[in-house]
Structure 1
Amino acid sequence: MAFKVIKPGLLALLQDLGRHGHQSIGLTTGGPMDEVAFRWGNALLENAPNAAQVEITFGMLSLEAQSDTSITITGADLGATLNGKSITPWQTYAIKKNDVLAFHQPVWGLRAYLAVKGGFLCEPTLGSVATVMREKIGGLTGKGDKLQKGDLLAYQTGAVHRQKSVPRLAIPNYSVKEIPVILGYQYQCFSSLERANFFSSDYQVSSNSDRMGYRLEGQAISSDTKGIISEGIAYGAVQIPKDGQPIVLLRDRQTIGGYPKMGCVTRVGGGILAQQKPGDIIQFTPITVDQAERERYLQMARFAQWR
């Protein structure tokens, strides 16, 4: 059976862990902006790690269940209600036929993830259901469409529900404003003064931010190199364009770019950044590759231990 979309909200997209192996032909990866929240959603339900979920940005989404199942909500608190009663994220809930699940406006954070037992059923495009609107690929239609009123989100009916919640210490702290950055090989394009300015300044999230990248406003950073030969763009790359205002490139990033880069934010850091709203203030902090790998290993080990 399925969830029927009653109200589509501002932006609700089907996502899995991404469409990999196609950047050479210009297709970006897509996938969840907050990977930690996404992975916990599937772990709580004992789903496959790549099972499809709905990423809900800002809220205003309403769904009606057509059969029994279990769900989890992770990520931001978007004021979710089940049949009009408030529910909190980071735990599982039993869903009965005709139940109405609604997301309102952010209490904290920006993006929530709705997972269902067994994952949402959708035909993959190039090996993934990840929705990338700019490239018109993935999602329910395979053409990159966001969820619309009347859409049916199919899932396997299940009557067995297990009450589970994420350990409190494992829930990301979205109020942390320091975003870790691994210095890249182009950091030498910036003087020691400019690097110091970058890591000591506050930056405000611009309203011109989206799944492609987060534009930041604050201390302008100048580079000794005005441009570079276009090259492949990694997740989290921190580009410094001509105006000196950093852009952090995220899940729906372009595949090549020609601006010098200070480094890359980590996936955990990118997830924290993706939960910041326009107007929020962040700072960057440098970390080593070893520190980033250790952080990633511990995070993945926590999921494995839970399972």
Structure 2
Amino acid sequence: MAFKVLKPGMLTLLQDLGRHGYQHLGVTSGGPMDEVAFLWGNSLLDNDDNAAQLEITFGMLSLEATQPTSIALAGADLGATLNGDSIMPWQTYAVKAGDVLTFQQPKFGLRAYLAVKGGFLAEPVLGSVATVIREQLGGFTGKGDKLQKGDLLPYAPTQQHTPRHLPRLAIPNYDQTEIDVVTGYQYKSFSGLDRAHFFSSAYTLSQNCDRMGYRLDGRPIGKDQPGIISEGIAYGAIQIPSDGQPIILLKDRQTIGGYPKIGCVTSISGSLLAQKKPGDKIGFRYMSVDQAERERHLALARIHQWR
């Protein structure tokens, strides 16, 4: 009734859609870095949207099934194989007892999602199984542990399998380099020149990129900006610290901060950003709140309509 972990990979975490309603206590939301891929993974199997999946960062994971099930892969192409045969993301596959599922290094993107029929089984902590290592919350142990060799990952076995794949037009374009940004109330405190530089410059993802946030290297902006009184931080907030290099705060972000923020990455672009690796280049594109809301509603409607 489980996958046995033969190789744990670089960073493999159990995730659902996140732990909400506790930021006032300093508890971050967690959840899948690429929420769009996560939702598609559950849709391919007719799972509940919140059914727990594995988020596999950079690959190097190997699992052995102890019971039959149906799986779906979504997100990055990490060179996955089933019993040595190549399998592709955005499809479902039947798995039998004794089958070995392996993920290699990234061919395209950075994070893959492995869903099983009915979702992986774990006990929620504060209403969620989302793994946040820093806060020692969630995961299969409830203590925020990443996968280790020998772990057993429970699921409800099933012989039921429906072959499915995503239409090509529905598959996200991970080659896209433009990241959509909604400006916030602190945007006007930046000079016109800083605003122009921010939206016209290319930035490189630094080596300091993780689930908490992505630090960028490029043309500095707002170096003369004063600090602000610490306040709550939204997903995707773009902080500008004293060195002028933007920091995009993501799923495992801290809940408060005192750097000024020039804007906020949209949720759809946040999923795209989650598939970028250190060294990749991105640029920013202005989007209104109305446009961002329409984009998200359209993406969710497309998933639910496909169901």
| TM-score of the aligned structures, taking structure 1 as reference length | 0.99
Name the residue aligned to 1:226. Answer: 226
Q: Distance in 1 between matches of 2:208 and 2:91?
A: 32
Cα distance, 1:304 vs structure 2 = 1.5
SS at match of 1:305: helix
Contact 2:235 2:264 (C-alpha < 8 Å) held by counterparts: yes
Name the residue aligned to 1:89. Answer: 89
Q: 1:46-61 to 2 correspondence within 5 Å?
A: 46-61=46-61
Name the residue aligned to 2:266. Answer: 266
Contact 1:73 1:90 (C-alpha < 8 Å) held by counterparts: yes
Cα distance, 1:225 vs structure 2 = 3.0
Contact 2:225 2:242 (C-alpha < 8 Å) held by counterparts: no
Name the residue aligned to 1:67. Answer: 67
Name the residue aligned to 2:149. Answer: 149
Name the residue aligned to 1:194. Answer: 194
SS at match of 1:199: helix
Q: Deviations over 1:38-57 (max 9, x none)?
A: 00000000000000000000
SS at match of 2:186: helix
Name the residue aligned to 1:6. Answer: 6
Name the residue aligned to 1:27. Answer: 27
Q: Distance in 2 between matches of 1:170 and 1:260?
A: 36
Moved over 3 A (4+): none
Contact 2:69 2:117 (C-alpha < 8 Å) held by counterparts: yes
SS at match of 1:185: coil
Contact 1:238 1:261 (C-alpha < 8 Å) held by counterparts: yes
Name the residue aligned to 1:80. Answer: 80
Q: Distance in 2 between matches of 1:101 and 1:73?
A: 11
Name the residue aligned to 1:247. Answer: 247
- When the two chains are superposed, the root-mean-square deviation of aligned CA atoms in Å is 0.7
Name the residue aligned to 2:109. Answer: 109
Cα distance, 1:224 vs structure 2 = 5.0
Q: Distance in 2 between matches of 1:265 and 1:64?
A: 38
Q: Distance in 2 between matches of 1:59 and 1:304?
A: 29
Name the residue aligned to 1:291. Answer: 291
Name the residue aligned to 2:305. Answer: 305
Amino acid at match of 2:158: G
Amino acid at match of 2:204: Q
Amino acid at match of 1:296: R
Cα distance, 1:223 vs structure 2 = 5.1
1:238 matches 2:211: no
Q: Deviations over 1:142-188 (max 9, x none)?
A: 11000000111101111011001111111110000000000011001
Q: Distance in 2 between matches of 1:162 and 1:224?
A: 58
Q: Distance in 2 between matches of 1:223 and 1:166?
A: 45
Contact 1:182 1:286 (C-alpha < 8 Å) held by counterparts: yes
Q: Deviations over 1:78-102 (max 9, x none)?
A: 0000001111100000001100000
| TM-score of the aligned structures, taking structure 2 as reference length | 0.99
1:184 matches 2:162: no
SS at match of 1:122: coil
1:160 matches 2:160: yes
Contact 2:179 2:269 (C-alpha < 8 Å) held by counterparts: yes
Which consecutive unaligned segments of at least 5 residues does structure 2 have? Answer: none
Q: Distance in 2 between matches of 1:192 and 1:80?
A: 47
Contact 1:190 1:224 (C-alpha < 8 Å) held by counterparts: no
Which consecutive unaligned segments of at least 5 residues does structure 1 have? Answer: none
SS at match of 1:141: coil
SS at match of 1:109: strand
Q: Distance in 1 between matches of 2:34 and 2:253?
A: 15
Contact 2:223 2:243 (C-alpha < 8 Å) held by counterparts: no
Q: Distance in 2 between matches of 1:286 and 1:137?
A: 35
Q: 1:32-47 to 2 correspondence within 5 Å?
A: 32-47=32-47
Cα distance, 1:300 vs structure 2 = 1.0
Contact 1:73 1:91 (C-alpha < 8 Å) held by counterparts: yes
Q: Distance in 2 between matches of 1:229 and 1:46?
A: 45
Q: Distance in 2 between matches of 1:169 and 1:306?
A: 12
Q: Distance in 2 between matches of 1:290 and 1:223?
A: 30
1:99 matches 2:99: yes
